[in-house]
Structure 1
Amino acid sequence: MKIVIAGAGDMGYHLAEQLSFDNKDIVLIDTDKDVLDNVASHLDVLTIVGDSTSLEVLKNANVQDAAMLMAVTTSEKTNIVTAALAKQLGAKRVIARVRTHDYLLPDHEVYFNQIGIDNIISPTMLCSSEIKRMLKNSSFTDVFEFEEGKLNVVGITLDQYSTLVNKKISDMSTNPIFEDIRIIAIVRGQMTIIPRGNTIIRNNDHVFFISNKKAVESILDLLGQKKVTVTNVMIIGGDDMAYATALKLEKEYRVTLIHKDKERCKWLSERLDNTLVINGDYKNIELLIEEGLEEMQAFISVTESSETNIITSLTAKNHGVYKAIAHVDTREYIHISHSIGVDSLINKKLVAANQITRFLRKGNVEAVSGIHGVDAEFIQYVITKNNRVTRKSLKDLHFPDTAIVAGVIRGDEVFIPDGDFMLQIDDKTIVLALPTAKTALEKLFH
């Protein structure tokens, strides 16, 4: 399968990296030769230096043979023109990255369809939705819902006082609570572990649990933590990300937004109906305290500086804020999010890249969810009649060691399967997989 990516920034690089594990034929276009040389030194991709809005460049990339073109440069206009031209040249499916919020309105998307663009995505809007989802389950750093919450995956970092630390997973099975929950992944440092029975939980491990809807609070009981309800939220920053986030949150939370630019604050206050907009220097901690920092349950830092976002979030934690979320532009920071003290680090480009990759999965895939800072993703397969996975128990399927069947949804029933479990036709199967397992999984579930 041939894939053409226009734009070799963080988002384009992440897409190319994800797809290279799937043995896709990838062509990467960018105007910056140095950036492309860096990508080529790390990934097995073909690079072309040039403007993706050029017909000659697109033809050189053989876009007419592409199953998909993704236009993900930092220029909205470039992306729209690139995608429209690629479709005219014969690309089967085209996706364009946009910044303008109005483009995403249902009534407006039809205009893009009419010029041949199949899908448009906004990293900012996707990221603000992700932040809202994080606040709904503020006790956890990561939350994933499948089939409207029938199955839930949550992540949390364990400290030395946790009752699970230094225990072997097989020894926990005697606890009745593990009938409805299971540990399906562990992040230790920068290593992602798919646990087995002999895996031992260590101090500072970031652990992912899967559970049915009723058992989510049982995880907090198991860990000795109380559920905290978020009502007051402070946002610092004033760009599109801050605006989109405040817009999504202000109907459900009491939101205070602080930004340093006076004119931008005026613009924000005219468009946000239920958000208190304050003009001030968000690096001034005394100002943040004066504006109610210590009464906040959540602090969201989305300024243009990754370092400012991390430092202010850590400061908020030191002042008693329960949940701190920081946006970072540098993808390398994501991998340290579980160890530096900030509850959640988020990168809008990676969120968007994970959204795009779901269009490319084979094997009756219904959904794909990436995990921030983790080299793994959830893939939801639908079992069909022509599938051999219904003929054997899970333990006899020669499942790759770097993947695990985390849960199964069968009609209104949910299962957290063991090795003896057998899949049935129409089951929705949620698999957690490291990149190296993707090819084997596509063969297994195709």
Structure 2
Amino acid sequence: MRVIIVGAGEVGSAIAESLSGAHDVVVIDVDADRVETLTYELDVLALQGDGCSLDVLQEAGIEEADMLIASTDDDQTNIVTCGTAAVGGDPFTIARVKSPQYLHTWERDNRAFGVDFMVCTDLLAARTIVGVIGLPTAQDVDMFADGAVQMAEFEIPAESPVAGQTVQEADRFDSLTFVGIIREDDIIVPSGGTTIEAGDDVVVIGSPESTRAFSSAIAPQENRPSDIVIVGGGEVGYQTARLLEERGFSPRLVEHDPGRARWLAEQLPKTTVLESDATDRSFLERENVGRADAVIAALENDQQNLLATLLAKRLGAGRAVAIVDTVEFAELFEAVGVDVAVSPREATAEEITRFTRGRHAENVSIVDGDRAEVLEVEIEAESVFADRTIREAASDLPDGVVVGAITRNGEFVVPRGDTVVEVGDHVVVFVETDSLEQMTQLL
């Protein structure tokens, strides 16, 4: 597949790196230094130029392109680029935008803007935050089968009752499957006798109820948060509060700008909006932010987010989640005390990458930076699973594949060896990256 990526920033470069091994990738950017860097670091064709220009797109081979991804930092540039690409050829176009207003317009009419698929950075970040907040011990969360199936990744702390148990001992839940254990540089497909060690990242797939129960088993003292404080009322902060309201939470939101605070109060009926500086220690103490179950920092820059979360933690707050604009800072944030660092750019790159891989799947989630994937596929007659038990199908599957869940007519079916998979079922599988291409053909 020939893919043209316009914009070689963090998002575009990450997408290019992920796709370059299996596809013919061309990257366009106005910055000569970025183009030179990509030329030496990745197996891609890098061109300097304006992606909005039809001449530049033609130089990149838009007539033969199967897909164009517009991933600059400017929403309007990305939309115009997709429209221009439709004039020069017939690629499938993907636009990255920050503002949800463009997404809402596109969702009302998918022909709008000449964009075939649109990804909203701020909304993705908010959804990631809310998913993590809903499971107090989770590092990553994703939904499948219209919400009937949940995938979650948990880090096992040393003091957890689960640490030192075998998978069979830890698996006390009817509709939960342990599909992977990430231990340093290894991915382990667990059996019942596999021991869960402190520091492991455990990946499970199951019903939302069982996933929440396992989350509580990992750290029994961690309950569903009741007091959530959002620091920063920008687009990510607003979208996070809105999504939390939809899930029955009543968060508090701190915003410094009086006009913005007034607007937020009008838009968020279940949210208490506080007008103040979130890095003011006296204000945080006065408002008992130290007693909050979770603090989410969504301020204008990484430095402010780090300061706000560490200050809240020092005052006694529970879980700290911070937005990190610079992808490379995410591990640093977590190393110095932030519980979960969410990178909107990384989330966007992952969403676009998984869409390019999973256009024939219902949903795809990338695990641990592309070391494994979770796929949801509707079973057709030609599938390796069709009208066979899971045990029978397993003999034809590559290594590193685990069936995590099945839904049938919207109902959850617990996958067991003697479970017969029917045509029309939705199957959610965990697949190590090395087995992905072979598994995709079998599905």
- TM-score range (shorter-chain normalised) is 0.7 to 0.9
User: What does residue 229 of structure 1 align with?
Assistant: 224
Q: CA deviation at 1:109?
A: 4.2
Q: How does 1:123-142 map to 2 (within 5 A)?
A: 123-142=121-140
Distance in 2, matches of 1:10 and 1:398, equals 36
User: What does residue 11 of structure 2 align with?
Assistant: 11
Change beyond 3 A, Cα 1:250–1:288: farther
Q: CA deviation at 1:400?
A: 3.6
Q: CA deviation at 1:366?
A: 0.8
Out of 232-241 and 307-316, give the one that drifted further: 307-316
Cα deviation 1:72-110 (Å, max 9, x = unaligned): 101112111100010121133112222333222258743
Out of 199-208 and 78-87, give the one that drifted further: 199-208
User: What does residue 189 of structure 2 align with?
Assistant: 195
1:72 corresponds to 2:67: no
Q: CA deviation at 1:407?
A: 2.4
**1:258 aligns to what SS in structure 2?**
strand
Does the Cα contact within 8 Å between 1:192 and 1:376 map onto a contact in 2? Answer: no
**How big is the alpha-carbon RMSD for the aligned residues of Structure 1 and Structure 2?**
3.1
Cα deviation 1:203-251 (Å, max 9, x = unaligned): 2222222233443344246435145233332111243222332343356
**2:78 aligns to what SS in structure 1?**
helix
**2:118 aligns to what SS in structure 1?**
strand
Out of 296-305 and 114-123, give the one that drifted further: 114-123
**2:114 aligns to what SS in structure 1?**
coil
1:242 corresponds to 2:237: yes
Distance in 2, matches of 1:271 and 1:430, equals 37
User: What does residue 365 of structure 2 align with?
Assistant: 369
User: What does residue 150 of structure 2 align with?
Assistant: 152
Distance in 2, matches of 1:333 and 1:158, equals 23
**1:63 aligns to what SS in structure 2?**
coil
Unaligned runs of 5+ in 2: none
Q: How does 1:41-56 map to 2 (within 5 A)?
A: 41-56=40-55
Change beyond 3 A, Cα 1:362–1:159: closer
Q: Which one-letter code corresponds to 1:430 in the other structure?
A: V
Q: Which one-letter code corresponds to 2:289 in the other structure?
A: L
Change beyond 3 A, Cα 1:42–1:289: farther
Out of 116-125 and 368-377, give the one that drifted further: 368-377
Distance in 1, matches of 2:343 and 2:313, equals 20
Change beyond 3 A, Cα 1:208–1:228: same
Change beyond 3 A, Cα 1:301–1:68: same
User: What does residue 381 of structure 1 align with?
Assistant: 377
Cα deviation 1:393-424 (Å, max 9, x = unaligned): 243124143x4332233342422445x76644
Distance in 1, matches of 2:285 and 2:369, equals 30
Q: Which one-letter code corresponds to 1:119 in the other structure?
A: F
**2:317 aligns to what SS in structure 1?**
coil
Q: CA deviation at 1:51?
A: 0.6
**1:177 aligns to what SS in structure 2?**
coil
Q: How does 1:406-417 map to 2 (within 5 A)?
A: 406-411=404-409, 412-417=411-416
Distance in 2, matches of 1:250 and 1:179, equals 30
* TM norm structure 1: 0.86
1:430 corresponds to 2:424: no
User: What does residue 119 of structure 2 align with?
Assistant: 121
Does the Cα contact within 8 Å between 1:139 and 1:228 map onto a contact in 2? Answer: no
Q: How does 1:295-306 map to 2 (within 5 A)?
A: 295-306=291-302
Aligned length: 437
1:351 corresponds to 2:351: no
Cα deviation 1:161-216 (Å, max 9, x = unaligned): 2233244x4xx426661664332233445x36233337543222222222334433
Distance in 2, matches of 1:363 and 1:425, equals 20
Change beyond 3 A, Cα 1:278–1:173: closer
Out of 425-434 and 47-56, give the one that drifted further: 425-434
User: What does residue 258 of structure 1 align with?
Assistant: 254
**2:322 aligns to what SS in structure 1?**
strand
Does the Cα contact within 8 Å between 1:187 and 1:374 map onto a contact in 2? Answer: no
Distance in 2, matches of 1:244 and 1:364, equals 29
Does the Cα contact within 8 Å between 1:407 and 1:417 map onto a contact in 2? Answer: no
Q: CA deviation at 1:60?
A: 0.8
User: What does residue 287 of structure 1 align with?
Assistant: 283
**2:376 aligns to what SS in structure 1?**
strand
Cα deviation 1:131-154 (Å, max 9, x = unaligned): 223333334333333224433223
Q: Which one-letter code corresponds to 1:440 in the other structure?
A: Q
Distance in 1, matches of 2:302 and 2:182, equals 22
Change beyond 3 A, Cα 1:373–1:313: farther
1:184 corresponds to 2:179: yes
Q: CA deviation at 1:334?
A: 3.9
Does the Cα contact within 8 Å between 2:62 and 2:85 map onto a contact in 1? Answer: yes
Q: Which one-letter code corresponds to 2:15 in the other structure?
A: L
Out of 27-36 and 300-309, give the one that drifted further: 300-309
Does the Cα contact within 8 Å between 1:151 and 1:414 map onto a contact in 2? Answer: no
Does the Cα contact within 8 Å between 2:83 and 2:114 map onto a contact in 1? Answer: yes
Distance in 1, matches of 2:288 and 2:352, equals 39
